[in-house]
Amino acid sequence: MGKINDILSPFTAWKHVVNKPVTIKDPVSRIAADRYRGFHKNDLEKCIGCSTCESICQNAAIDMVPVEGIETKHGDSGLRPRIDYGRCCWCALCVDICTTNSLSMSNEYIWIDEDPEVFRFVPGAEKKSWDTRQAGWQKPSDNYELYDPQRVKMGELSPEIRHDSFVEIVQGFSKEQAIAEADRCVECGICTATCPSHMGIPEYIKAIRNDNLDQGLKILYETNPLPEICGRICTHKCETVCSVGHHGEPLSIRWLKRYIADQNPADKYKEILNRGNIDDKGKKIAIIGAGPSGLSAAYYLSLMGYSCTIFEKLPQAGGMMRYGIPEYRLPYDQLDKDINYILSLGVDIKYNATVGKDITLEQLHNDYDAVYTGTGLHSGRSTRIPGTEHKNVYQAVDLLRDVSLGKEIPVSEKIVVIGGGNVAMDITRTIARLQKQKYGKVQVIATSLESEEEMPADREEIVEAREEMAIIEPGWGPVEIIIENDKITGLKVNKCLSVFDEERRFNPKFDKENQKIFPADMVIESIGQGADLSYITESFKENLEMDQRGRIIVDKHFQTSLKWFFAGGDIIQGPDVITGIANGHKAAIGIDKFINRNS
């Protein structure tokens, strides 16, 4: 029976003879699934050319290339991915890791052409039929991340602990925290391009990941001799452009730099940064001002074998870093750690030596082979509204300097600060601490022209100032300081509607109907600082090219029209520390070239 069945059974296949053939799929008209990984699409506006797609591609199918019509913008490399479909394996890891989520794939998979060259193209730049398709592979959204978009939380003193002391707020990373934060880096290098000093940021972050902090310190000192300082108070332009920040939080680059510097004890610096024997070139350079740019110039010049002498007006080195920034942001011992290392290389420094008073610029010109000036912006600007001539109206920079000098500064019960920048926040928070110590309560108002979104101060400064009970009132323009019986009673302000006009020029508009008075018995102005260049005497000024606003004109090596005279720092660019350091470094190279050419 079984055998007969085995003979007849196969004939049942004939029942399919009336059915349509099963192999009917037509690949040309067939539409692929919604998730299909087909040809790439790229939103060129969103893309920043970070090249992370290129890094992850296992078969080198992606090249970053310049594209016509795409300019190199701030935080954008100007390059865009070009994909070679002869190498692409369609894995879509490039899409999954894309930091801006600009890259995706369409569900188109058929494209026929006789020319093999066309299969290598820049998605988005060359229009394709699938560019507008919705369907195709997108980065899976359900908590699917190939790197951590969230920052490692930094330990900070709580407002209750810090509000009456000048102890440093930010506590720094532990080893585990630093390695976890360093792990988030995608090594795109956009930070390096943006940093005024072009620090090797991905490289030192890599050194942290590898727990090789000696290497990290060496990388820091290649472009920045003040890492402890920059690790605390740098304006971190790198973080604002960090590609990880486009979808998530940017890396804490500043804290990572601080971690490297903090972990290396000062007495090990010489050993780690051993530069070998430096031949003395027998040339002398005078540097005016021991601020960031002067110190940076001194460091790099002394590495080249020049003997440097810094002339510093104040009793200690550091410039604005010491006399402008409060101790709770930048403790003096950390400041000294960086400065002492530079001085240990043989840099001579003359304190309390004001150029123009104790020694003239002419003497420096005669005694030294070149002069570098980085005297900074130490003169506070006034709003010049009625009442500013009153004795209880102060400049923020003057008060901050006095605090650092250890002098007692006047602190009344009700204080108004005019200004919305970081200096204004520094003085506000300093005053808040002093008021807390003196009166047990805080009554300080900081008011700025700019709205809260436009305020130039760092966001965290505003938040922390509020945590310390200071009141921030953005969007008010000062009208006059009200004085009754020779005593300040308040600051009258108008509502500010806009600060800049359509051409982005400073041209504030006020609503005069909307007025308010902030009660105060003391007013502090903090609306910006100016330079004091009185040490440049008329005889030099004749040949020194300056622009209409009285700024010295320099070339790319920070050389002025007086060939022996170099200038950098806040008086030229910035104002901020890292720009000053970058200026000092470039000027050192310029001075070296100048001296080599002349000798």
Candidates 65, 146, 161, 278: give the one binding other proteins (CB under 8 A). Answer: 146
Does 33 bind other proteins (CB under 8 A)? Our answer is: yes
Contact in structure between 292 and 584 (CB atoms under 8 Å)? yes
Does 19 bind other proteins (CB under 8 A)? Our answer is: no
Does 121 bind other proteins (CB under 8 A)? Our answer is: no
Burial of 281 (0-12, 13-18, 19+ CB in 10 A): middle
Q: Which residues contact 570 (CB under 8 A, 6 or more apart)?
A: 291, 293, 320, 374, 376, 377, 529, 531, 576, 579, 580
Candidates 75, 106, 122, 137: give the one binding other proteins (CB under 8 A). Answer: 137
To other proteins, the closest distance from the beta carbon of 103 in angstroms equals 15
Task: Considering only residues 335 through 394, tell me which ones interact with other proteins, judged by CB under 8 A.
Answer: none
C-beta pairs of 198-204 under 8 Å, 24+ apart in sequence: 198/223, 198/582, 199/223, 199/224, 199/238, 199/257, 201/238, 201/253, 204/256, 204/257, 204/260
To other proteins, the closest distance from the beta carbon of 127 in angstroms equals 24
Does 127 bind other proteins (CB under 8 A)? Our answer is: no
DSSP states along 490-510:
EEEEEEEEEEE-TTS-EEEEE
| Residue linked to tokens 């960086």 | 338
Q: Binders of other proteins: how many residues, by CB under 8 A?
A: 48
- Measured from the CB atom, is 144 or 506 closer to other proteins? 144
- Measured from the CB atom, is 106 or 560 closer to other proteins? 106
Does 6 bind other proteins (CB under 8 A)? Our answer is: yes
Candidates 89, 118, 278, 497: give the one binding other proteins (CB under 8 A). Answer: 89
- Measured from the CB atom, is 9 or 548 closer to other proteins? 9
- Measured from the CB atom, is 64 or 444 closer to other proteins? 64
* Angstrom distance (rounded) from CA 587 to CA 221: 16
Q: Which stretch binds other proteins (CB under 8 A): 34-42, 310-318, 336-344, 537-545?
A: 34-42
The percent helix, strand, coil of the chain (3-state, each to 5) is 35, 20, 50
Task: Considering only residues 199 through 228, tell me which ones interact with other proteins, judged by CB under 8 A.
Answer: 206, 209
- Measured from the CB atom, is 15 or 384 closer to other proteins? 15
SS3 state of residue 288? strand
- The sign one gets for the Cα dihedral 178, 326, 230, 350 is negative
Q: Which stretch binds other proteins (CB under 8 A): 42-50, 85-93, 259-267, 281-289?
A: 85-93
To other proteins, the closest distance from the beta carbon of 221 in angstroms equals 24
- Measured from the CB atom, is 206 or 492 closer to other proteins? 206
What kind and span of H or E run contains 191? Answer: helix 190-194
Here's the x/- map for other proteins, 182-201, by CB under 8 A: it reads as -xxxxx--------------
Candidates 142, 453, 486, 538: give the one binding other proteins (CB under 8 A). Answer: 142
Does 48 bind other proteins (CB under 8 A)? Our answer is: no
Does 32 bind other proteins (CB under 8 A)? Our answer is: yes
Alpha helices in 380-514 (DSSP H): 396-405, 422-439, 459-467
Phi-psi region of 285 (alpha: psi -120 to 50; beta: other; left: phi over 0): beta
Does 556 bind other proteins (CB under 8 A)? Our answer is: no
What kind and span of H or E run contains 515? Answer: strand 506-519
Contact in structure between 348 and 309 (CB atoms under 8 Å)? yes
Tokens of residue 31, six digits: 């539409």
Does 3 bind other proteins (CB under 8 A)? Our answer is: yes
Contact in structure between 97 and 53 (CB atoms under 8 Å)? yes
Strands 444-448 and 529-530: what pairing? unpaired
Please report, as ranges, the residues that interact with other proteins according to CB under 8 A: 3, 5-7, 9-10, 12-13, 15-16, 21-23, 25, 32-37, 52, 55-58, 89-93, 96-97, 137, 140, 142-148, 183-187, 206, 209
